[in-house]
Each structure stands twice: as structure tokens, then as C-alpha cells.
Amino acid sequence: MIIPGVNGAKQKQYFVTRAPLQRTTTKPACKAEENSPLKVVMDRVCTVCHEMFSHENPSMRAECREDCFRTEQFKRCLAVFQPPRQVQKMLMEFY
């Protein structure tokens, strides 16, 4: 790209070059990043859990999402939405 100088009659031209973009082909460390619908669901679990319990733990959402959703906080949030064993058993018998 050429950028003209601003010195009236003595205009100089400056050449600006850009480094070529380098693309990386490494896989993300978090498998949830590879699966967009899964990440949306996992993120939603953390968000709803935060909305329910942020009065007890204001950093609930961040703790839930930490380490690619591999925290105890995320497991606790999942447990909130998991039906009791009795309901699970009924559902398994039905299907």
C-alpha cells in the first residue's frame, strides 16, 4: 500500500508492507470447541446454573466453564438438570 506524504510540494511516498497471514492448523485443546452445538449446550448449562446460584457464588459461570467444562462446578451444574434415578428408571422402562 502506498501512503503519500503531507509535505506540500515535497511529497514523499512511503511503502507499507504487511506480513503474510499465517494460518495454524492445530486442533483446539478443548473438544467442545470442535463441536459447536455441544459447546452451546454446555455453555447454556453454565449460564442457567449461574442465574440460579450466582447469589451464592458470583463467579459461578466462569468456574463452570473453566478447563473446558471439566470442573467440579460443571458437574454440579449438570446434576441440577439431571432427573432423579427413579425418573431415569421409568424413562428407560418406557423406551
Please state the domain extents for the chain: 36-95
Question: All 3 cell numbers of residue 86?
Answer: 427413579
pLDDT (tens digit per residue) in 30-84: 888 888 899 999 999 999 999 999 999 999 999 999 999 999 999 999 988 887 8
**pLDDT value at residue 75:** 92
Q: What are all long-range contacts of 83-86, with beta carbons under 8 Å and residues at least 24 apart?
A: none
- Count helices and strands (H / E) in the chain: 5, 2
Model confidence, pTM: 0.59
| Choice between 27 and 54, residue whose per-residue pLDDT is larger | 54
pLDDT of residue 12 exceeding 70:
no
* Cell reading at 13: 511516498
Q: Which long-range contacts (CB under 8 A, 24 or more apart) does 70-73 make?
A: none
Nearest partner of 15 among 31, 2, 25, judged by Cα: 2
pLDDT at 66: 94
Mapped onto helix, strand or coil, the DSSP state of residue 60 is helix
Q: How far apart are CA 21 and CA 63, in angstroms?
A: 34
